[in-house]
């Protein structure tokens, strides 16, 4: 089941809200959320819901053992190591087995059958949440949860279960068994959800359609041969793809945060307008914050051979960041690509980069980011090579008759220029400034006008999104496959 679906919007979610709000005791509300979350997951993954339950019980039990660290410090350390190994092993088996076997066959010319293992939706997210929980229990930054139902609620909560953000236990620890939902929570949560829905349905889906006309169905591996795609066409397509990934994933995060708010949970922000960054370091402080902070806190400072090793750990973090995104070499290249520029910025120093003209820093960061999304896009190495040849302008020298632009790309650009401009504008922090003007002015008339405008605007976005979903049969989020 996905959020951008009419059944979810007008069937599952209203029923869940009714059962939740009509339950009087918080324990009953939690039970309702657990049941609906398991149904939500089992809707598309009826078998793998058992894997989710196993992961929840296993890590809950490991946390309980680690909780006796003072009495049994050695056992606690061994338990932590065992828990992390089992969690990562499950992730490797289900996500990377085919990739590893395929590469071993290619390297040693063996013929080991490549197993066909379907990827459990959301396994990367709930596995990392489980790992963060057991580590935090060992570090004593959180107290081990005594109730399995409460821990299961944390791990399986449907707003963030299948595509994040990676919610740490410390963020919701108190709210699991002690929270209230006010009218303001419901209102703000619903509006945040609708804005996220509009990002996905109105902007992301249409941007993906543009990408499909030039690059092919990249999410399913149905790439077009782009060797003949013009210089302009390649740049236009990858810019659209960059915006698509942002609106698809940030739209989901907005919906997850909004849903969580409606149930009394306050998740951390996962995106903070990343395209306004001036450096790659700043980009990753604004993009997929829950993932980058996870690797920063749990991997970057890990001692290697007795002490933290800055540059080795930086390489390790970005190798893992790439691997986390998918079992394909392009994701590894993508992670190391960003790691290389982060290393470059460390060497240059923040003070030196601050002296650069602002225009130059924006051009530098956007070029690196957009090219990076091109690497992210193509798991087919042939087409990835064609992409680099096109976008660098090398095709002018290596391909006879190669064009700066072409009729088809130019026509597609003209037809969708307003969509792209809208996406660029919405990706900037303009709407928050408008909201701030209406809601923080201190004038009752302006405040009331802003509230009415926001309500009418959200209703319009909901209606438009619902209309677009009528003829749409499949609206998966990109990060479902990670």
pLDDT in tens, 321-336: 999 988 889 999 999 9
Rounded-to-integer distance, Cα 145 and Cα 170, Å:
11
**Local confidence band at 309 (pLDDT 50, 70, 90 cut-offs):** confident
Give the pLDDT confidence of 405-414 residue by residue, as tens digits: 989 999 999 9
CA dihedral for 348, 351, 355, 360, sign (positive or negative) = positive
pLDDT at residue 480 is higher than 80: no
pLDDT at residue 16 is higher than 70: yes
Q: Catalytic: 362?
A: no
With beta carbons less than 8 A apart as the criterion, state whether 152 and 32 touch: no
With beta carbons less than 8 A apart as the criterion, state whether 479 and 252 touch: yes
C-alpha to C-alpha distances, 218 to 135, 159, 165, 210, nearest whole angstrom: 36, 26, 23, 11
Mean pLDDT throughout 107-113?
Answer: 84
pLDDT of residue 175: 92
Question: Of the listed 72, 266, 325, 362, which one is catalytic?
Answer: 325
pLDDT at residue 162 is higher than 60: yes
Rounded-to-integer distance, Cα 235 and Cα 214, Å:
10
With beta carbons less than 8 A apart as the criterion, state whether 315 and 340 touch: no
The DSSP symbol for 267 reads P
With beta carbons less than 8 A apart as the criterion, state whether 158 and 38 touch: no
Contacts of 253 (CB under 8 A, 6+ apart): 164, 165, 196, 269, 270, 271
- Omega into 165 within 30° of 0, i.e. cis? yes
Mean pLDDT throughout 214-220?
Answer: 89
The pair of three-digit structure tokens given for residue 477, joined into one six-digit string:
């989020």
- Domain extents for the chain? 6-179, 185-481
pLDDT of residue 198: 95
Contacts of 393 (CB under 8 A, 6+ apart): 231
pLDDT at residue 74 is higher than 80: no
Rounded-to-integer distance, Cα 106 and Cα 192, Å:
47
Rounded-to-integer distance, Cα 407 and Cα 280, Å:
34
pLDDT of residue 76: 85
pLDDT of residue 10: 93
b/e map of 292-320 (b: 16 or more CB within 10 Å)?
bbbbebbeeeeeeeeeeeeeebbbbbbeb
Burial class (CB in 10 A: 0-12, 13-18, 19+), 476: middle
The whole model's pTM is what? 0.92
The pair of three-digit structure tokens given for residue 425, joined into one six-digit string:
């504008």
pLDDT at residue 304 is higher than 80: no
64-73, 252-261, 463-472: range with lowest mean pLDDT: 64-73
With beta carbons less than 8 A apart as the criterion, state whether 102 and 114 touch: yes
Rounded-to-integer distance, Cα 114 and Cα 294, Å:
31
Rounded-to-integer distance, Cα 120 and Cα 122, Å:
6
Cβ atoms < 10 Å from Cβ of 400? 7
Strands 222-223 vs 216-217: parallel, antiparallel or unpaired: antiparallel
CA dihedral for 63, 68, 70, 74, sign (positive or negative) = negative
With beta carbons less than 8 A apart as the criterion, state whether 2 and 479 touch: no
The helix-helix angle for 148-156 and 49-66 (nearest 10°) equals 130
User: Among 122, 100, 124, 94, which Cα is nearest to 112's?
Assistant: 100
pLDDT at residue 481 is higher than 70: no
**Local confidence band at 305 (pLDDT 50, 70, 90 cut-offs):** low
pLDDT at residue 441 is higher than 80: no
Residues in the chain: 482
| 217 phi/psi in degrees, rounded to 5 | -80, 80
b/e map of 348-375 (b: 16 or more CB within 10 Å)?
eeeeebeeeeeeebbebbbebbbbbbbb
User: What share of the chain in percent tops pLDDT 70?
Assistant: 95
C-alpha to C-alpha distances, 13 to 20, 39, 291, 454, nearest whole angstrom: 10, 12, 27, 22
pLDDT at residue 473 is higher than 80: no
Rounded-to-integer distance, Cα 390 and Cα 477, Å:
28
pLDDT of residue 482: 59
Cβ atoms < 10 Å from Cβ of 445? 8
Average confidence score pLDDT of the chain: 89
pLDDT at residue 425 is higher than 60: yes
pLDDT at residue 477 is higher than 60: yes
């Amino acid at each position: 089941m996905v959020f951008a679906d009419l059944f979810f919007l007008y069937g599952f979610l209203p029923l869940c809200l009714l059962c939740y709000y009509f339950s009087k005791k918080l324990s009953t509300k939690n039970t309702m959320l657990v049941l609906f979350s398991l149904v939500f997951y089992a809707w598309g993954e009826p078998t793998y819901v058992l894997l989710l339950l196993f992961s929840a019980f296993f890590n809950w039990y490991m946390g309980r053992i680690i909780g006796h660290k003072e009495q049994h410090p050695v056992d606690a350390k061994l338990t932590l190591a065992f828990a992390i190994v089992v969690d990562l092993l499950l992730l490797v088996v289900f996500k990377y087995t085919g990739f590893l076997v395929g590469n071993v066959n290619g390297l040693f010319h063996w013929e080991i059958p490549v197993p066909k293992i379907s990827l459990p939706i959301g396994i990367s997210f709930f596995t990392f949440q489980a790992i963060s929980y057991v580590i935090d229990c060992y570090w004593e930054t959180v107290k081990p949860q005594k109730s399995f139902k409460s821990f299961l609620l944390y791990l399986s909560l449907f707003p963030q279960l299948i595509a994040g953000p990676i919610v740490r236990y410390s963020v919701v620890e108190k709210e699991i068994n002690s929270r209230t939902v006010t009218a303001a929570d419901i209102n703000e949560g619903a509006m945040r959800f609708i804005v996220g829905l509009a990002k996905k349905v109105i902007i992301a889906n249409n941007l993906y359609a543009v990408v499909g006309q030039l690059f092919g169905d990249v999410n399913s591996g149905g790439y077009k041969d782009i060797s003949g795609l013009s210089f302009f066409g390649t740049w236009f397509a990858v810019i659209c793809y960059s915006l698509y990934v942002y609106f698809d994933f940030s739209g989901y995060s907005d919906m997850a945060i909004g849903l969580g708010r409606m149930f009394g949970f306050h998740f951390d922000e996962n995106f903070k307008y990343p395209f306004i960054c001036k450096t790659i370091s700043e980009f990753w402080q604004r993009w997929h914050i829950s993932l980058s902070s996870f690797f920063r806190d749990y991997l970057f400072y890990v001692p290697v051979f007795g002490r933290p090793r800055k540059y080795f750990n930086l390489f390790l973090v970005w190798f893992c960041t790439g691997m986390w995104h998918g079992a394909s070499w392009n994701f590894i290249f993508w992670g190391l690509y960003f790691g290389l520029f982060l290393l470059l910025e460390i060497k240059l120093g923040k003070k030196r980069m601050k002296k650069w003209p602002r225009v130059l820093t924006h051009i530098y960061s956007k070029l690196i980011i957009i090219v990076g999304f091109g690497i992210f896009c193509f798991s087919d190495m042939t087409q990835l090579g064609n992409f680099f040849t096109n976008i660098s302008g090398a095709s002018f020298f290596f391909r006879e008759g190669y064009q700066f632009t072409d009729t088809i790309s130019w026509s597609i650009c003209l037809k969708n220029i307003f969509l792209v401009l809208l996406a660029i504008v919405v990706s900037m922090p303009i709407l928050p400034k408008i909201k701030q003007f209406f809601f923080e002015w201190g004038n009752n008339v302006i405040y009331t006008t802003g509230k009415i405008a926001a309500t009418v605007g959200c209703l319009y976005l909901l209606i438009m999104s619902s209309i677009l979903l009528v003829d749409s049969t499949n609206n998966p989020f990109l990060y479902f496959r990670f």
